[in-house]
């Protein structure tokens, strides 16, 4: 069994994968599909919200987007390519499996105008604000 070196700056996002690898040595197959959470950024401007997700290696038809009850849901599955049996891996760091990310958005969005674009492994979802939610200046009379 290998020792796992710990450093204070180690990213906690690798902990589930490290545990999978550790317990893999005890008869649990860590090569099976697991749940993974792609990194997501959410930004807001005057026009609306922009949700950006890193989904490298996925195809457009493997990604599902829904909006219901003020909840934006991104989901899909990145399938593990079947590896050749003659390979003896020393390290497996790529994550595979199903994911689902849910984000509660304010009620001030135009659900019918949500648009999504997927290019170069980056999913961008634009959620426009409704007119009454946009900031405006009020003149003092």
The answer to whether residue 73 scores a pLDDT higher than 80 is yes
Residue that wins the pLDDT comparison between 77 and 22: 77
Please check the confidence at residue 28 and state whether its pLDDT lies above 50.
no
Is 137 contained in some domain?
A: no
pLDDT digits 0-9 by tens, 103-115: 999 888 999 999 9
Residue listed under structure tokens 């991104």: 74
Q: How far is CA 2 from the centre of its chain?
A: 30
Which one, of 41, 100, 42, 102, lies nearest residue 76 by Cα?
A: 100
- Residue 52 is assigned to a structural domain of this protein: yes
The verdict on residue 50 lying in a domain is: yes
Mean confidence (pLDDT) of the chain? 82
Count of domains observed in the chain: 1
Residue 56 sits in a domain whose CATH number is: 2.60.40.790
pLDDT-derived band at 11, boundaries 50, 70, 90: low
Residue 48 domain flag:
yes
Assess whether pLDDT exceeds 60 at residue 33.
no
Pick the range with the lowest mean pLDDT from 7-11, 115-119, 126-130. Answer: 7-11
Task: Establish if 124 belongs to a structural domain.
Answer: yes
Residue 18 in any domain: the answer is no
Whether 17 is in a domain gets the answer: no
pLDDT band, residue 35 (cuts 50/70/90): low
Distance CA 35, CA 108 (A): 32
* Parent domain of 98: 33-80+93-132
Tell me which of 57-61, 77-81, 90-94 is least confident: 90-94
Q: What is the pTM of this model?
A: 0.68
Asked whether residue 40 is assigned to any structural domain, the reply reads yes
Q: Quick check: 129 and 48 in contact, CB under 8 A?
A: yes
Burial 112-133 (b: 16+ CB within 10 A, else e): eebeeebeeeebebebbbeeee
């Amino acid at each position: 069994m290998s020792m796992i070196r710990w450093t204070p700056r180690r990213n906690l996002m690798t902990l589930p994968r490290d545990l999978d690898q550790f317990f893999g040595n005890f008869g649990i197959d860590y090569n099976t599909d697991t749940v993974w959470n792609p990194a997501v950024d959410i930004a807001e401007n005057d026009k609306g919200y922009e949700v950006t997700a890193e989904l490298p290696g996925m195809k457009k038809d493997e990604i599902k987007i829904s909006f219901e009850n003020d909840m934006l849901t991104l989901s899909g599955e990145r399938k593990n390519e079947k590896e050749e049996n003659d390979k003896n891996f020393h390290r497996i760091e790529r994550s595979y499996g199903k994911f689902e990310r849910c984000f509660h958005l304010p009620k001030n969005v135009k659900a019918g105008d949500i648009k999504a674009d997927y290019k170069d492994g980056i999913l961008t979802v634009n959620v426009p604000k409704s007119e009454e939610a946009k900031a405006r200046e009020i003149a003092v009379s």
